[in-house]
Amino acid sequence: MDFSACQKIIENVSRVIVGKEKSVELLLVALLADGHVLLEDVPGMGKTLLAKCLARSIGGSFKRVQFTPDLLPSDVTGFNVYSRQDGQFKFQPGPVMTHVLLADEINRTIPRTQSSLLESMEERQVTVDGKTYTLPKPFFVIATQNPIELEGTFPLPEAQLDRFLLKIKLGYPMRDEEIQILNRFREKDPLDELEPVIQPEAFMALQTARKQIRISEPVAAYLTDIVRATRDHAALQYGASPRSSIGLMRAAQAMAALSGRTYILPDDVKQLVMPVLSHRLILKEAERLRGTDTHQVIEEIVSRTAVPAGE
């Protein structure tokens, strides 16, 4: 299967988004692996613009939901409306009925509404009054969190964080990149000129083909050793689940596909360990107070895990 369209998508998004090629690549890895992304960064970093660019590049629809404390599950999934004309209830689809959904500041809404979205992410469907509606395919959620404002928020429980394949941070642009942003947006919005690179049906075929990317026994053992090491680490209260192992493998398959290979290398695993595992680990309270973070733990584990010879 030819995955060259994926590189074209990255190039297309980069026509609008400046200096974030690695973040765009990780977004595409998650989409190709049929997962979802938690995007954590301060306001004004271009998260919404990035999501719009990705949706347009795959020829898909885009919806954005601003999560607030008064947002109800039906505001996300949809609800039935009574029609006086025929005396029946008709389903009014919610914003979740889209290809790319930006769940903005997901930690600002109540847990019940958070759960309704996460159920849609897992099941790829919504159920209203006993009737089930299938979501469009591909279905990709980019949920954002603001790390600097904690007042009035409802942090996602660990079990719900585990549903996100990757956690990504954009970070501030470099000086030259910021000047380039000013020049690019001075006279027009480059998003207006962005054209699709592929259609949703064709991208679904790539998602299916990604499953055929091979993982050798030594690389599978290497991946497993890294995940299992989190469960025995002295700084961690809880390590990564088997779902993390599956997620890391699928993400590594996607990374190999983007690189034009039919097999996973240990380097694919190394590149993805941090975004796949960092939000799934729970530090012990004493370690958290000491200033330890999950990134330090993951770096230590990767450094001491033997890489398969000849891989």
Residue 311's pLDDT is 57
Total domain count for the chain? 2
Does residue 231 contact residue 240 with C-beta atoms inside 8 Å?
yes
Q: Are 127 and 76 in contact (CB under 8 A)?
A: no
pLDDT for res 300: 95
Helix H or strand E encompassing 175: helix 175-184
Question: Of 48, 53, 33, which is closest to residue 170 (Cα–Cα)?
Answer: 48
Question: Residue 309 has what pLDDT?
Answer: 79
For residue 284, what is the domain's CATH number? 1.10.8.80
Per-residue confidence (pLDDT) for residue 149, from 0 to 100: 61
Domain end (from 184, 206, 228): 206
Last residue of a domain, one of 206, 223, 246: 206
Are 284 and 192 in the same domain? Answer: no
Same domain? For 27 and 146 the reply is yes
Looking at the structure, tell me whether residues 171 and 224 fall in a common domain.
no
pLDDT at position 160? 80
User: 11 with 56, same domain?
Assistant: yes
Domain that holds residue 70: 4-206
How far is 121 from 140, CA to CA, in rounded Å?
8
Please tell me the predicted confidence (pLDDT) of residue 52. Answer: 96
The C-alpha atoms of residue 93 and residue 168 are separated, in whole angstroms, by 29
| Beta-carbon contacts of residue 243 (< 8 Å; ≥ 6 apart) | 162
CATH number at 59 reads 3.40.50.300
Same structural domain for residues 197 and 270?
no
Residue 167, domain member (yes or no) = yes
Token digits of residue 130? 């006993």
Mean pLDDT by 10 residues, the chain (311 residues): 90 93 95 95 87 96 93 91 82 93 91 86 87 93 81 75 92 92 90 94 96 96 97 92 96 96 96 96 89 92 90 57
Residues 105 and 122 in one domain: yes
Position 104 in a domain: yes
DSSP assigned state of 62: E
The answer on 185 and 237 residing in a single domain is: no
If asked whether residues 197 and 83 sit together in one domain, one would say yes
